[in-house]
């Protein structure tokens, strides 16, 4: 069993280096991880040096340290980071470096007793990371890191060992580590997603309409902004797969043309706190009502962070051919859950989806980006083209309907 577990860690570490970030020889690599991720971090560091990396620098974080900050720091300190945290992405981009981030839920429930306003105010998105992504100066990848702590909340009906085993088996499945050649499997899936994105772009859609239980939402789309999915390529020609796993195609919508009501179809985890039954009402592109069965105060606080925080920055479609949705598991992390169902995000949009500067200027600007899932069985997605034709996009069973 110990050998099996070690082999899993080595395989996932190699996937992060070889497929997700696609680390090149002589690169500087930054790894972002929690302390609990140490075994997988060591595997990534080993794989990166074997690929010829010159430097691999690990940026550790500890949720318990963050909790102390939230409990004890002065109000004026919340929402701010030291200057060097903002400088790191820019300097890495100048080096044409690589970045790998490990995600999961390392400390479930740790922030449940923290005041929602303080937690929301201290949720910091480093805009410089968004800038290097937009400029395509870094090859980067995000992969899940299975841990006992995370497994316990994903599979609470199992004992600790069985829960971890179940989570690892699921991660192997959705990351395609069960394939003879995971890299080839991801190249094929990436091509499928890119094809779906191209079909959506060529359809010339002006808007999307989501219909389901508690959802009747119209989302306007921007001309000159394309749909994307699958792999990215840096400005200097390095292919990489930013999210492993990924099953979505996405775009940045018109931040002024969202109307109607929407209900989340899955819980989401925001800064370690679960938000369930999220409901929003939009008028003229802005979320004017936010409610939830739990966690509403946190989402309201995030939506007040700046002018764009209550407007849409992303709309993404997930069809029924992916591997995550059929598992029927709430993973309590956006990387996995958002790839199980279509979703939207309030906050920052993606400038790199625009084909021209005039279109990029209309994409939503914000310091936050909060995804939540709105699709799944029973949710139908239709579209209206710019010449006024109504077309079916996704059937209720998740099948693509576009030609």
- The predicted-structure confidence for 109-120, as pLDDT tens digits, reads as follows 899 889 988 988
Q: Which residue has the higher pLDDT, 356 or 200?
A: 200
Q: Could you tell me where the beta strands, DSSP code E, fall in 236-342?
A: 239-240, 248-251, 258-263, 268-270, 273-275, 279-283, 286-291, 312-318
> Is 218 among the domain residues?
yes
Position 125 confidence tier, pLDDT thresholds 50, 70, 90: confident
Same domain, 291 and 351: yes
> Is 348 among the domain residues?
yes
3-state helix, strand, coil in the chain (%, to 5): 35, 25, 40
pLDDT at 137 over 80: yes
Residue-level pLDDT at 134: 85
> Is 102 among the domain residues?
yes
Same domain, 119 and 218: no
Residue-level pLDDT at 211: 96
Distance CA(212)–CA(181), nearest Å, equals 38
Mean pLDDT over each residue of the chain, to the nearest integer: 94
Query: How many domains does one find in the chain?
Result: 2
Distance CA(233)–CA(150), nearest Å, equals 32
Helix ranges (DSSP H) in 276-393: 296-303, 334-337, 357-360
pLDDT at 59 over 90: yes
Residues β-bridged to residue 29: 56, 98
Residue whose C-alpha is closest to residue 24's, from 268, 237, 174? 237
Q: Which residue has the higher pLDDT, 240 or 378?
A: 240
pLDDT at 1 over 70: no
Q: Could you tell me where the beta strands, DSSP code E, fall in 115-263?
A: 139-144, 205-212, 215-220, 228-229, 232-233, 239-240, 248-251, 258-263
Position 16 confidence tier, pLDDT thresholds 50, 70, 90: very high
Residue whose C-alpha is closest to residue 250's, from 370, 345, 366? 345
> Is 172 among the domain residues?
no
> Is 178 among the domain residues?
no
Same domain, 161 and 73: yes
Q: What percent of the chain has pLDDT over 70?
A: 100
Residue-level pLDDT at 60: 97
pLDDT at 403 over 80: no
Whether the CA torsion 378, 349, 99, 273 is positive or negative: it is negative
Domain that holds residue 36: 2-165
Backbone dihedral angles phi then psi of residue 101, each to the nearest 5 degrees: -120, 135
pLDDT at 247 over 70: yes
49 to each of 18, 25, 224, 239, how far by Cα in Å?
A: 11, 8, 41, 19
Q: Who's near 357: CB < 8 A, 6+ residues apart?
A: none
Same domain, 80 and 16: yes
pLDDT at 278 over 90: yes
> Is 378 among the domain residues?
yes
Same domain, 374 and 225: yes
Task: Tell me the per-residue pLDDT of 82-107, one tens digit each, with 9 for 90 and over.
Answer: 999 999 999 999 999 999 999 998 88
Backbone dihedral angles phi then psi of residue 253, each to the nearest 5 degrees: -80, 180
> Is 63 among the domain residues?
yes
pLDDT at 272 over 80: no
For Cα atoms 367, 369, 372, give the angle at the middle one, nearest 5 degrees. Answer: 160
Residue-level pLDDT at 182: 97
Task: Tell me the per-residue pLDDT of 321-333, one tens digit each, with 9 for 90 and over.
Answer: 899 999 999 998 8
Same domain, 160 and 189: no
Same domain, 224 and 282: yes
Asked if 238 and 22 count as a contact pair (C-beta separation under 8 A), the reply is yes
Task: Tell me the per-residue pLDDT of 374-399, one tens digit each, with 9 for 90 and over.
Answer: 998 889 999 999 999 999 999 888 88
Same domain, 280 and 369: yes
Strands 239-240 and 232-233: antiparallel
């Amino acid at each position: 069993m110990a050998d099996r577990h070690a082999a899993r860690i080595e395989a996932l570490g190699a996937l992060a280096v070889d497929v997700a970030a696609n680390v090149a020889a002589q690169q500087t690599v930054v790894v972002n991880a929690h302390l609990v991720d140490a075994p997988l971090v060591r595997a990534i560091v080993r794989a990166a040096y074997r690929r010829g990396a010159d430097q691999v620098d690990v940026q550790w974080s500890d949720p318990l340290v963050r909790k102390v900050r939230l409990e004890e720091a002065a109000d004026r300190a919340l929402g701010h980071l030291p200057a060097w945290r903002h400088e790191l992405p820019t300097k890495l981009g100048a080096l044409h470096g690589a970045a790998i981030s490990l995600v999961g839920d390392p400390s479930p429930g740790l922030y449940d007793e923290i005041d929602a306003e303080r937690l929301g105010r201290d949720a910091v998105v480093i805009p410089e990371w968004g800038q290097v992504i937009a400029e395509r100066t870094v090859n980067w990848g995000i992969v899940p890191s299975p841990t006992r702590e995370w497994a316990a909340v994903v599979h609470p009906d199992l004992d600790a060992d069985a829960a971890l085993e179940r989570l690892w088996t699921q991660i192997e499945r959705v990351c395609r580590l069960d394939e003879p050649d995971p890299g080839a499997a991801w190249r094929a899936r990436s091509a499928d997603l890119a094809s779906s994105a191209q079909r959506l772009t060529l359809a010339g859609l002006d808007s999307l309409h989501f219909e389901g239980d508690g959802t009747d939402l119209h989302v306007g789309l921007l001309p000159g902004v394309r749909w994307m999915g699958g792999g990215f390529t840096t400005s200097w020609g390095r292919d990489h797969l930013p999210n492993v796993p990924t099953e979505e195609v996405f775009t940045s919508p018109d931040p002024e043309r969202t109307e109607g009501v929407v209900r989340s179809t899955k819980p989401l985890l925001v800064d370690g706190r679960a938000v369930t039954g999220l409901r929003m009402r939009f008028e003229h592109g802005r979320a004017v009502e936010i409610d939830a069965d739990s966690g509403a105060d946190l989402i309201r606080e995030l939506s007040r962070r700046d002018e764009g925080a209550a407007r849409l920055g992303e709309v993404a479609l997930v069809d029924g051919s992916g591997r995550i949705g059929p598992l029927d598991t709430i993973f309590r992390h956006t990387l996995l859950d958002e790839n199980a169902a279509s979703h939207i995000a309030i906050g920052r949009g993606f400038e790199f989806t625009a084909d021209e500067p005039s279109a990029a200027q209309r994409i939503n600007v914000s310091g936050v980006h909060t995804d939540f899932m709105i699709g799944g069985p029973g949710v139908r997605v239709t579209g209206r083209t710019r010449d006024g034709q109504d077309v079916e996009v996704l059937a209720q069973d998740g099948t693509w309907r576009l030609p």
